[in-house]
Amino acid sequence: VAGGMRAAVDLPWTADAKVVFLICDAPPHNPQFCPDYARDDHPDTGTTLEGDIEQLANNCTELVVLQVNGCESYLTKMISVFEDVYRRVTPNANCQSHSLSERIELDFLDLVVRTAKDTMTRARDLRSRSGGSAAGAGA
């Protein structure tokens, strides 16, 4: 999770409409999100997960967390933290979560299409209100 969010932050985003899909069955393996893990064995990215989520929100990047069968209670805590960061940082982007069912292909395709439409509409509206780049409107 942390490595994926760091990679998303490091992408050379240029479009006004930006979406990150995070597909996971568990939160980061650290005590903050998953008390069963006393330590995190994954490489240190040099940043905090909340800091990376805040950067995505500041960049008006939509974040969609897709939950597959796994640690639902721990994922709920992680998603709550992500949503709190987005609410605090910007009204110009959303963090949402969905649980994928056994019809994963149909659910995922529908979700991608809906999210793309909503994100492009929001970016267009921000651009028209700000008279320029939507990314600048949230900064």
119 vs 131, higher pLDDT? 119
71 vs 96, higher pLDDT? 96
What pLDDT, on a 0 to 100 scale, did the predictor assign at position 44? 62
Q: Where are the alpha helices (DSSP H) in the chain?
A: 2-10, 49-58, 72-89, 104-130, 134-137
pLDDT at 4 over 80: yes
**Looking at this protein, which amino acid is placed at residue 77?**
K
44 Cβ contact list (under 8 Å, min separation 6)? none
pLDDT at 133 over 60: no
Overall average pLDDT of the 81-110 stretch: 81
Mean pLDDT rounded to a whole number for the chain: 80
Overall average pLDDT of the 96-125 stretch: 78
28 vs 135, higher pLDDT? 28
Kindly report the pTM of this predicted structure: 0.74
Half-sphere exposure at residue 72, Cβ-oriented, CA atoms within 13 angstroms: 5
Report how far apart, in Å, the C-alpha atoms of 79 and of each of 63, 104, 120 are: 10, 20, 23
H or E element that contains 64 = strand 61-67
pLDDT at 37 over 50: yes
Tell me the three state secondary structure of residue 125.
helix
% of the chain at pLDDT higher than 70: 82
What pLDDT, on a 0 to 100 scale, did the predictor assign at position 41? 61
pLDDT at 139 over 70: no
What pLDDT, on a 0 to 100 scale, did the predictor assign at position 71? 73
What pLDDT, on a 0 to 100 scale, did the predictor assign at position 54? 94
